[in-house]
Structure 1
Amino acid sequence: MEKFVGTGVALITPFKEDKSVDVEALKKVVKFQIENSVDYIVVLGTTAESATLTNEEKTLVKQTIIEANNGELPLVLGVGGNNTTALVEQLKNENLEGFDAILSVSPFYNKPTQEGIYQHFKHVAENSPLPIILYNVPGRTASNMLPYTVARLASDFDNIIAIKEAAGDIVQAMEMIQQTPKDFLVISGDDMITLPMILAGGAGVISVIAEGFPEDFSNMVALGLDRKVDEAYEIHYKIAPAIDMIFEEGNPAGIKSVFKKLGLTTDEVRLPLVKASESLQLRLAEFIDNN
């Protein structure tokens, strides 16, 4: 699935001052990605604050992004959960028109065994009408999808095409690259180790920082894929301070502060998240002004 090689972005959901979804700002954010070399967009992931959106708001977000994108970039929809039966029902009933794949997070909170994770995704694979990108993020799920489980799923189900690997462990990522089929995509879910993962054989990134700095980060990824190491690392070290900053007080508070500075959205988030502190906002603004 070459369309998912390169830079994907986990899109935010902009809010107005009253915390309602800001449709016009969302359109601007989508256009900003299209105009700045991003390869695909991930809709209703963690960064979108999907946990605090109603079903009606999720439908609005999907429709707005599909219309604003107008077929320009591939779209991936976040469809995950920790109730396998409910997730299967959702896959059967969800309107997936306009999307090219789904991103499905490993079950959170339940803390399943590796066999439980395998069986969960077996059911997802057997019921998904679209290709599946697995999502491993132990910091949020409290369980780690190990390389042998990923390799097993990749080998057993043709429609499981990739993983967003966000354990922050470059050795684990390398083991996934080594153990999975050659056409399976191991995609970085950790902005700071994106370049080393690509150089180890990874397929790119699903990024948060890239949606705020899409041109620079996309260029870095493209250079890494072309094995232009020195040029790629030059961009990496330029942008690395911003990566640290945007996650310093949680996601998406940091990246929304970037968008506010860029004049695209407010920095409103929904509880239990709160806005970035004034100190962090000032440091991010200074970084943007100097770069």
Structure 2
Amino acid sequence: MSKGDCRNVLVVAITPRNEDQQVDLDGVRRNSRYLIQNGVNFIMPECGTGLVYDASLAEYEAVVGTFIDEVGDKSHVVPGIGPGFGRSLEMGSIAKDLGVDGVMIMPVVGPASATGVYNGLKAIAEKIKLPTILYQRRLDIMTVDDVIRLCQLDEIVGLKYAVDDIEAFKQISENAGDQAAMTCGMAEDPCIDYLENGAIGFSSGMANFVPRMSLSLLQNFMSGNKDEAERLRNLMIPFEDFRGENGAQYSSSALHSAMDYIGLSGGPVIPFATDVSNK
């Protein structure tokens, strides 16, 4: 996987589950085929949308391995690793053995300092030795200058930027965009603003069930048809707003429900996420 491969919609895949909350591997296969059939070629399992935070290592290996087996060479498979230093190394080792195209280091959630995060991310990337995407959600512990420095590493091919600060993004893009792919990590809602300021792609959860809309949004923007890109974005905002309500408690489960609704595989989520109420 290279920087250029991130000129894309990065589909952060859900992890479908059966009613007993066990991973539904047949559902992973079904959902994978749907994505491929609808033009997706960049799939990111076991990230935040896939609730990697609460997955066991055995589940992680099974899910990522199933995605790889099902899509073959039709799509890049780039799972999340972490959060946490040790967990990132463990998952990175599993992912590498499975033959992934790259990994994304999940955001730090525990006690941390800017120096500690810089040293930790650098060490993870250098130890795993896979094409790596950074995931930035906090500027206090992932400073603009540190991210620019990290993007100089040979292993770093991209940045998923998910901070509501476009000026900071512009600084990073201007100073590191030649080395690493800049992507909007906040889905469709703000993606056009970021595409206009250096991003070459964006991550999407809605692409799990409406992949053609997300792909068309990006394609129209890149071809200069910004009015159509904006029209598609506006159609997607209400669902994104619902996902973000009340601390984003339905960020993943809303996608599970949507997958069930259209006849794909969603099922329940696991703690500490919350299922969408039938009401």
TM-score using structure 1 length = 0.87
Residue in 1 that maps onto 2:116: 116
The Cα offsets for residues 48-67 of structure 1, whole Å up to 9 and x where unpaired, read as: 12222222211211121111
Q: Distance in 2 between matches of 1:153 and 1:266?
A: 36
Deviation at 1:276, TM superposition (A): 0.9
Deviation at 1:243, TM superposition (A): 1.4
Q: Which amino acid aligns with 1:145?
A: M
Deviation at 1:89, TM superposition (A): 5.8
The Cα offsets for residues 15-51 of structure 1, whole Å up to 9 and x where unpaired, read as: 1111111111111111111122223000211111222
CA 143–13 in structure 1, closer or farther in 2 if over 3 Å, else same: farther
SS class of match (2:74): coil
Contact 2:113 2:141 in 1 (8 A): no
SS class of match (1:221): helix
Q: Which amino acid aligns with 2:9?
A: T
Q: Distance in 2 between matches of 1:26 and 1:88?
A: 24
Residue in 2 that maps onto 1:172: 168
Q: CA RMSD in A?
A: 2.0
For residues 164-243 of structure 1, what are the structure 2 equivalents within 5 Å? 164-191=160-187, 192-243=189-240
For residues 21-170 of structure 1, what are the structure 2 equivalents within 5 Å? 21-83=23-85, 87-88=88-89, 91-92=92-93, 95-113=96-114, 115-138=115-138, 143-155=140-152, 157-170=153-166
Deviation at 1:10, TM superposition (A): 0.8
Q: Distance in 1 between matches of 2:17 and 2:89?
A: 30
Higher relative contact order (CA 8 A, sep 6+): 2
Q: Which amino acid aligns with 1:122?
A: K
Q: Which amino acid aligns with 1:278?
A: N
Q: Distance in 2 between matches of 1:125 and 1:4?
A: 18
Q: Which amino acid aligns with 2:252?
A: P
Contact 1:111 1:143 in 2 (8 A): no
Deviation at 1:98, TM superposition (A): 2.7
The Cα offsets for residues 122-173 of structure 1, whole Å up to 9 and x where unpaired, read as: 21222122111001123xxx95522221111112x12111111111322222
How many percent identity over aligned positions?
A: 22
Contact 2:61 2:94 in 1 (8 A): no
For residues 246-257 of structure 1, what are the structure 2 equivalents within 5 Å? 246-248=243-245, 249-257=249-257
* Larger deviation, residues 26-35 vs 238-247: 238-247
Q: Distance in 2 between matches of 1:29 and 1:158?
A: 33
Q: Which amino acid aligns with 1:97?
A: L
Paired residues in the alignment total: 273
Q: Which amino acid aligns with 1:111?
A: A
TM-score using structure 2 length = 0.90
Q: Distance in 2 between matches of 1:127 and 1:182?
A: 24
Q: What 5-or-longer segments of structure 1 have no aligned partner?
A: 280-291
Contact 1:92 1:127 in 2 (8 A): no
SS class of match (1:100): coil
